[in-house]
Amino acid sequence: MSLQAHVGKSNTNLELSQAGSNNALLENSTDQAWNPRMAGAPPNRIGELRAQRRISQQDLAEQIGTSNQQISRLETGKGNLTQEWMRKIADALGVSPADLLPEEERASSKPPPPANDEVRFAGTYMPSQDSIPVYASAEAGLGEMSIGEQIGTIPRPPPLEGVTGGYAVHIVGDSMEPVLEQGTLVWVSPTPPRSGQLCIIQLKDHGDGEHRAMVKRYRRSRADFYVVLQYNPESEIDLEKRRVDKLHKIVGATFE
């Protein structure tokens, strides 16, 4: 099955992965840093945002290519939170770099509301160019959803610029709440996820003609299983590889 996707217009989009890191907030990034210890500023929000997403320091460290000791140093202000660190961490947590800052710092860096012909992602507004397809979805039981025919398109989100085969699909079911609620339109890249990233798991055909899929957070691969995480109810699942057709990385979302 070849999937691609996108949906109608929405006010709020959120980047959920490392894709799309050419963020306008960080174009010409340097080693200049915002340091929470300066001028009595409050701590950054890395630990708070990480905990909301149920991502450990070790998982975050693996995703951005560093150590959990370095994550701890950055969270507590003992490490130098450079723009490059902010970009990497924000991409991994699915937020904008500005969202890592305390409230008073974020207030001064919020962009203006988007126009109707713009797509918002990770705090940056990009004009719509070409489009990607959006696929129909329906509940299929046991934490699965059925993905059907193309039902429309949406403007191509920045994380999928230059990506062949990108698509969008609505979340069905509540197994990933509160991170991804039912009805959320996710942007999907046909590339495999890394540890800690959200993903669409396309399952092999049951012989009934339905294309089933699951939405989970990828943890790791074992000999005969993929280890994935769901949030509602919270559990770590060993998914047999023989059931899986493809793993596709979720790179962003549109919340209506």
Residues 47-59 have pLDDT tens digits of 888 888 888 899 8
Among residues 103, 249, 236, the alpha carbon closest in space to that of 167 is found at: 249
Q: Is the whole model's pTM more than 0.85, yes or no?
A: no
Q: What is the pLDDT along the chain (256 residues), one digit of tens a residue?
A: 444 333 333 333 444 433 333 333 323 333 344 343 444 444 788 988 888 888 889 988 888 888 989 999 898 888 888 888 888 888 788 777 888 887 765 555 444 333 333 333 333 434 445 899 999 888 755 678 888 889 999 998 888 888 899 999 999 888 888 888 888 899 999 999 888 889 999 998 766 667 889 999 998 888 899 999 888 888 889 999 999 999 999 998 886 5
Listed in sequence order, the residues at least 6 apart from 111 whose beta carbon sits closer than 8 Å to its beta carbon are: 123, 124, 125
The yes-or-no answer to whether 24-114 and 126-255 have a common fold is no
Q: Which CATH number fits domain 126-255: 3.40.50.2030, 2.10.109.10, 2.60.40.10, 3.40.640.10?
A: 2.10.109.10
Among residues 250, 243, 247, the alpha carbon closest in space to that of 206 is found at: 243
CA–CA separation, 72 and 69 (whole Å):
5
Is the separation of the CB atoms in 20 and 254 below 8 Å? Answer: no
Which residue matches tokens 């937020």?
95
Name the phi and psi angles at 233, rounded to 5. Answer: -75, 155
| Spans of all domains in the chain | 24-114, 126-255
> Would you call 181 exposed, middle or buried from its count of C-beta atoms within 10 A (0-12, 13-18, 19+)?
middle
Model pLDDT, residue 63: 83
Model pLDDT, residue 108: 52
Is the separation of the CB atoms in 134 and 168 below 8 Å? Answer: yes
Name the phi and psi angles at 16, rounded to 5. Answer: -115, 0
Model pLDDT, residue 104: 61
Residues 84-126 have pLDDT tens digits of 888 888 878 877 788 888 776 555 544 433 333 333 333 343 4
CATH architecture of 24-114: Orthogonal Bundle (1.10)
Among residues 178, 202, 212, the alpha carbon closest in space to that of 250 is found at: 202
